[in-house]
Amino acid sequence: MIKFLLPSNIYFFLGKIIKFINSIFFLILIIGLAFALVLSPPDYIQGDSVRIMYVHVPSAWIGLASFSLISLFSILNFVFKTKNLYLINKSIAPIGLLFTSLAVVTGSLWGQPTWGTWWAWDARLTSMIILIFFYVLFILSYKLIKKEDLAVKVSSFLAIIGSINLIIIKYSVEWWSTLHQPASLKLGNSSSIHSSMMLPLMIMLLVLLLYGALIFLMKYKTEIIKMKKKNVKRL
């Protein structure tokens, strides 16, 4: 299984998957935007401002999921010392940083009409800002440290320490009294979101996941080419 996931075995498929995502992406994007901006109903309290949810929530989920993956792969990298995991982490990090930043910005734009403020230093918002710092430090660690072994160690250490913040983000709305509402969707529990809003939310999640996958594959392909270029240079 691990052998199958080696860059030399999967490189061939990367181009094909990128082409496939490119071919279906715009259709799903248009369907997602039609549902999010036109077909879904306004909220009975928040009115049309609730439409911000369709970009804010998936962005936050992808931002958190990306760092969770980075932390998991960093732990696995410490154990198995596989360079491929480091390349995967380098390819995921910019996507996570983008979506976490978008979650904060769109959250601020949603906060003004609903809470009456752009920003509050409450636990959820502050822990999301800390996540952005962890992403920035993670990216800087492999950009600034030239020795690859050291860069792997430093970035993995940052990712593992940063995973503590993920738990704080998840439970911040339960542990502290925050301006941010508790989660409306819980795994295994029934959702408090009506299906007319759930459908656009899931379509927009799919759109942003496809976009994330596209960027990941392109970045991963770039990392593999960089590695091969170094090998050619040595000859």
Partner 1 sequence: MIINFISMNGYGSFVWLSFGIVLISCLVLYLKTKKTLRKYEKEFIAEFETLSESNKKAVLEKSRIANQILATNSRAD
Amino acid at 114: T
Is 225 a binding residue for partner 1 by CB under 8 A? The answer is: yes
Q: Can you tell me which of 35, 56, 71, 74 binds partner 1, judged by CB under 8 A?
A: 56
Identify which of residues 80 and 118 has a Cβ nearer to partner 1 in the complex. 118
**Contact predicate 55/106, CB 8 Å:** yes
Phi/psi at 186 (5° precision): -130, 135
- Using CB under 8 A as the binding rule, whether residue 45 contacts partner 1 is answered as no
Token duo for residue 126:
């502050």
Among positions 102, 152, 154, 197, the unique one binding partner 1 when judged by CB under 8 A: 102
φ, ψ dihedrals at 47, nearest 5°: 65, -145
Q: Does 233 contact partner 1 by CB under 8 A?
A: yes
Asked if residues 50 and 197 have their Cβ atoms less than 8 Å apart, the reply is yes
| Rounded Cα gap, residues 27 and 103, in angstroms | 24
According to the binding rule CB under 8 A, does residue 41 interact with partner 1? no
> At its nearest, how many Å lie between partner 1 and the CB of residue 125?
16
CA distances from residue 180 to 33, 105, 132, 170, 214 in whole angstroms, order as listed? 25, 14, 18, 12, 31
Task: Based on the shown chain and the rule CB under 8 A, indicate whether residue 192 belongs to the binding site for partner 1.
Answer: no
Residues of this chain that bind partner 1 (CB under 8 A): 7-8, 11-12, 15, 33, 36-38, 42, 47-49, 51-52, 55-56, 59, 94-95, 98, 101-102, 105-106, 109-110, 112-113, 211, 214-215, 218-219, 221-222, 224-226, 228-229, 231-233, 235
